[in-house]
Structure 1
Amino acid sequence: MTTIDYDRLYVGGTWNAPATDQRIQVHSPTDEQLIGSVPEASEADIDAAVSAARDAFDDPEGWAHWSPSRRTEVLERFAVALEERGGETARRVTIQNGMPIWLAQQFEAGFPAVLLRYYAGLVEAGQEERRQGMLGKQAVVTREPIGVVAAIVPWNVPQAITFLKLAPALAAGCTVVLKPAPETVLDAFLMAEAAAEAGLPAGVLNVVPAGREVGAYLVEHPGIDKVSFTGSTAAGRAIAQTCGRLLRPVTLELGGKSAAIVLDDANLGDTIESFFGATLLNNGQICWLGTRVLAPRARYDEVVDTVAGLAGSLVVGDPLVETTQVGPLVSERQRHRVEGYIEKGLSDGARLVVGGGRPADRDAGWFVQPTVFADVDRKATIAQEEIFGPVLAVIPYDDEDDAVAIANDTDYGLGGSVWTADPDRGEQFARRIRTGTIGVNHYSNDPFSPFGGVRASGMGRELGPEGLVAFQSVKTIYLDQANDS
């Protein structure tokens, strides 16, 4: 195939030559062939991007001072430009990280424009209120853009996660330096083309792909006012330490080891498609997936058989084929990591029910069979650590209290799901789980509702009005007059 190559970085509203000749090469996870390359940003490129974002933010007539309606006009053009590129965006994501194309068309092609319009509408609805004070006078509470934002995104759902940050930040009036993951850069450059076409003012959005060391340099850059990071818990801890030392606001959406809790009245056969979406979606490469399946002892064998039947029936193959349900993992390193956890599960005594190896019909690509372990001890490594691949651990429980205890016995707290024939019972059970989000008989992120985790799954929230507040500073103006109205 013809490779997709870029020679310049999108900084300051134009395409500029990078400071070095270092490049990021992207290989297909399906056949391991080179599919494209882009410049690798250096510290000098970060300096240029932050300077452009700072100049744009500090401009007294610039983006931060535009009326919400004026910003909305540009963001609507941005949304339209993204929609026009939606098919190509989905294709680029799929050929880079192995996401099945039907899923990329939903997450990566459509979600960004939805978020741009949602947050533009929130800001237009008003960000100021007058309050009657306790002391008889008034106060005006305003929300202002927080400043220059460093947005660091992962490779697993790159465009949707980018716009969890970009949409509210831009709507609020912030300027952004975006660092996409090296594994998924081709979609980020396509997005930058859409931004340029839409007429985002110079410096409002800057795209600088790089690895961890340059990312760390961005996080501690003195020109940054706010950091928004999605990625591993280990990296998140390091970023939190830096931001704590600098007293810099930070939002962290990190790892997960969520529980999919099957209650004793559940009929998984009736909700198997939703169960797949909550446990094995995107080849198991989503942080909120319920990779610990909790099953009542009285129905344990039945649940194991149902889950194993699901995993064993999934179509594994080329992610560009519409019927493929499970594609390859993003990289050889990621496959090695997942296979290491499978080996650990076996050595710790768990029972391999289905999968555990590589598909026999794939002689290239970084594929792993959907894998299910049974008889997993709740303290076992595969029940406690995030694997980030198509591997499920089915854990037995005695009663509801025991299920709650197991579900909460984790360092994480990001997602989760409850499966039951009684939605009211499911809601009451869900309230007992310590997590940032949880679904009853399904799991999906809704733009109107906050998303984020507790404990080692991070801090702060994205989506919903809460996702906008994360990019705003609250100012109170005390007025020297009573409210006469």
Structure 2
Amino acid sequence: MRQHDTLFIGGEWVAPAGTGTIDVISPHTEEIVGRVPDGTTEDMERAVAAAREAFDHGPWPRMTFAERAEVIARLAAIYNERQSEMAQLITEEMGSPITFSNLAQAPQPLGMLQFYAELGRTFEQEEQRPGLFGPITVRREPVGVVAAVVPWNVPQFVTMTKVAPALLAGCTIVLKPAPETPLDAYLLAEWAAEAGVPAGVLNIVVAGREVGEHLVAHKGVDKVAFTGSTAAGRRIAAVCGEQLKRVSLELGGKSAAIILDDADLAASMGFLSMASLMNNGQACVAQTRILASRNRYDEVVDAIAAMVGAQPVGDPADPATGIGPLVAKRQQERVEGYIKLGMDEGAKIVVGGLDRPYDRGWYVAPTVFAGVSNDMRIAREEIFGPVLAVIPYEDEADAVRIANDSDYGLAGTVWTADAEHGMEVARQVRTGTYGVNCFMLETNAPFGGYKASGIGRELGPEGLNSYLEYKTIARLG
């Protein structure tokens, strides 16, 4: 068992103020695999104070972008050498299949560090523009102390969407990992210290919701960067709005995969399985609404059912596993509740259902519903599990209408033999990230959502902008 009895504050491993602990439970075995301190408001006060001191008086904000980039590059080099260790740890603590952890859970955070290190080597802090009466200097300065509040599903990916650009900008950070997945954050802290990130620049306190709210509302925090549920995002936005505090929110999704009539179903299923079922369906970008024309509806349902039914369900540490357990018992019960709801709404189960694959572990049978209309709750609400709903459409315009008929707008795909025409469809769907015959997130391109899927963008140069304040200096003479 991995046991930690300290917190990472001010560049040191310090004893917590309280005696409470958080047990990390394996979703596969239901056994304790780790234990960490349960942070208190006093611990969070110390973390914010350390970040505030490092920002107000430390060297980090006063270094050049290129100097900070070199530190980030050192962290990336350490990450690169030990990314397999990170992947295995995430699989152990939250049940992500090891194949997905090796493909995305560890490599994508590494890619973010590498991208921002490279961007920082040439990024200019000041830009000169002509003014009416003399030269104008536009200066980029760090926003200040950042509270990064991250979820459990892709813990390092989401952490790095915030930490990497915030570090390059010159901000200092208080990171609050989710109680379900704190172990990877401890490993990151070790690597950051080894890379030479100055004391107080990155502080990590694992805590529950109440202490997290204390962090978000803290007057010493200049910006909140949050990924999680839309309900929690609304609460955080309200708190930040009251204080006129900078905030970025990456929230939920209910993304649609539009399968056009000319799509090669056999060729599409491999890519669509990743887009729809990645990380056991616990992904905000998952394509969980499958839109099929009435002309090919039964054929698409059969193809989706075969694809889902062929997924090996089991031990997430086994490279052969396609779908592992959900992160917690409450998540298992939540997803099963939606499966029952879909049945009650009149949708038809063609694969899966309420029979659990195993007696032990928080497993749910991967499930496909047919006969779904877009007004059903299973088509409108984020389930966050391996549950897909196949929805019929009349024609292409109807497919676009259904795709857009959602409170969310995070991701989406279109599947077609004509990629150029797929681009035309992509331009009509109001989501932040889209794929034509594929789905992926690129470190050099912005990621975020429309509507209830959030505010702001992460990744790419745009992700750096949200950690910067812009100052205009006019000069005469």
Shared fold per TM-score greater than 0.5 = yes
Do structure 1's residue 449 and structure 2's residue 425 form an aligned pair? no
Residue 273 of structure 1 corresponds to 270
Do structure 1's residue 143 and structure 2's residue 140 form an aligned pair? yes
In structure 1, how many angstroms separate the alpha carbons of the residues matched to 2:247 and 2:285?
Answer: 20
Do structure 1's residue 297 and structure 2's residue 294 form an aligned pair? yes
Residue 465 of structure 2 corresponds to 469
User: CA shift at 1:86, angstroms?
Assistant: 1.4
1:435 corresponds to which of 431, 436, 451: 431
In structure 1, how many angstroms separate the alpha carbons of the residues matched to 2:366 and 2:201?
Answer: 42
Residue 314 of structure 2 corresponds to 317
In structure 1, how many angstroms separate the alpha carbons of the residues matched to 2:35 and 2:143?
Answer: 33
Change (3 A) 1:358 1:185: farther
Of 136-145 and 77-86, deviating more is 77-86
User: CA shift at 1:121, angstroms?
Assistant: 2.2
What is the 5 A alignment of 1:378-457? 378-457=374-453
Residue 232 of structure 1 corresponds to 229
User: CA shift at 1:418, angstroms?
Assistant: 0.4
2:121 corresponds to which of 100, 119, 124: 124
Q: Any idea what the Cα deviations from partners look like across 1:204-249, whole Å, max 9, x if unmatched?
A: 0000011111111000001100000000000000000000000001
SS state at 2:296 partner:
helix
In structure 1, how many angstroms separate the alpha carbons of the residues matched to 2:304 and 2:446?
Answer: 29
Residue 182 of structure 1 corresponds to 179
Residue 340 of structure 1 corresponds to 337
User: CA shift at 1:272, angstroms?
Assistant: 1.6
Do structure 1's residue 19 and structure 2's residue 23 form an aligned pair? no
Letter in 2 for 1:117: Q
**Is 1:174–1:471's contact at 8 Å kept on the other side of the alignment?**
yes
- Count, aligned residues: 476
In structure 2, how many angstroms separate the alpha carbons of the residues matched to 1:136 and 1:46?
Answer: 48
In structure 2, how many angstroms separate the alpha carbons of the residues matched to 1:17 and 1:81?
Answer: 26
SS state at 1:298 partner:
coil
Q: Any idea what the Cα deviations from partners look like across 1:446-479, whole Å, max 9, x if unmatched?
A: 0111000011100100001100001000011112
Q: Any idea what the Cα deviations from partners look like across 1:19-55, whole Å, max 9, x if unmatched?
A: 0001110110001011010001100000000000000
For normalisation by structure 1, the TM-score amounts to 0.97
What is the 5 A alignment of 1:104-253? 104-125=101-122, 126-133=124-131, 135-253=132-250
User: CA shift at 1:127, angstroms?
Assistant: 3.2
**Is 1:293–1:393's contact at 8 Å kept on the other side of the alignment?**
yes
In structure 2, how many angstroms separate the alpha carbons of the residues matched to 1:21 and 1:220?
Answer: 24
| Alignment root-mean-square deviation, CA | 1.0
Letter in 1 for 2:33: I
**Is 2:68–2:120's contact at 8 Å kept on the other side of the alignment?**
no
Of 384-393 and 76-85, deviating more is 76-85
Residue 456 of structure 2 corresponds to 460
Do structure 1's residue 32 and structure 2's residue 30 form an aligned pair? yes
Letter in 2 for 1:7: D
User: CA shift at 1:83, angstroms?
Assistant: 2.3
In structure 1, how many angstroms separate the alpha carbons of the residues matched to 2:265 and 2:384?
Answer: 23
In structure 1, how many angstroms separate the alpha carbons of the residues matched to 2:62 and 2:460?
Answer: 23
Q: Any idea what the Cα deviations from partners look like across 1:158-207, whole Å, max 9, x if unmatched?
A: 00110000000001110000000000001111111111111211100000
Provide the identity percentage.
55
In structure 2, how many angstroms separate the alpha carbons of the residues matched to 1:479 and 1:276?
Answer: 58
**4+ aligned runs moved over 6 Å, structure 1:** none
5+ long unaligned stretches in structure 2: none
Residue 73 of structure 1 corresponds to 70
User: CA shift at 1:136, angstroms?
Assistant: 4.4
Residue 371 of structure 1 corresponds to 367
SS state at 2:295 partner:
helix
For normalisation by structure 2, the TM-score amounts to 0.98
**Is 2:413–2:438's contact at 8 Å kept on the other side of the alignment?**
yes
In structure 2, how many angstroms separate the alpha carbons of the residues matched to 1:114 and 1:348?
Answer: 43
User: CA shift at 1:404, angstroms?
Assistant: 1.1
**Is 1:358–1:367's contact at 8 Å kept on the other side of the alignment?**
no
In structure 2, how many angstroms separate the alpha carbons of the residues matched to 1:359 and 1:313?
Answer: 16
1:10 corresponds to which of 5, 8, 18: 8
**Is 1:277–1:442's contact at 8 Å kept on the other side of the alignment?**
no
In structure 2, how many angstroms separate the alpha carbons of the residues matched to 1:282 and 1:57?
Answer: 36
User: CA shift at 1:359, angstroms?
Assistant: 4.3
In structure 2, how many angstroms separate the alpha carbons of the residues matched to 1:238 and 1:390?
Answer: 27
Letter in 2 for 1:285: Q
Q: Any idea what the Cα deviations from partners look like across 1:88-139, whole Å, max 9, x if unmatched?
A: 2111110111101111112232222221221122232123211112x24221
SS state at 1:227 partner:
strand
SS state at 1:379 partner:
coil
SS state at 1:21 partner:
coil
SS state at 1:107 partner:
helix
**Is 1:355–1:372's contact at 8 Å kept on the other side of the alignment?**
yes
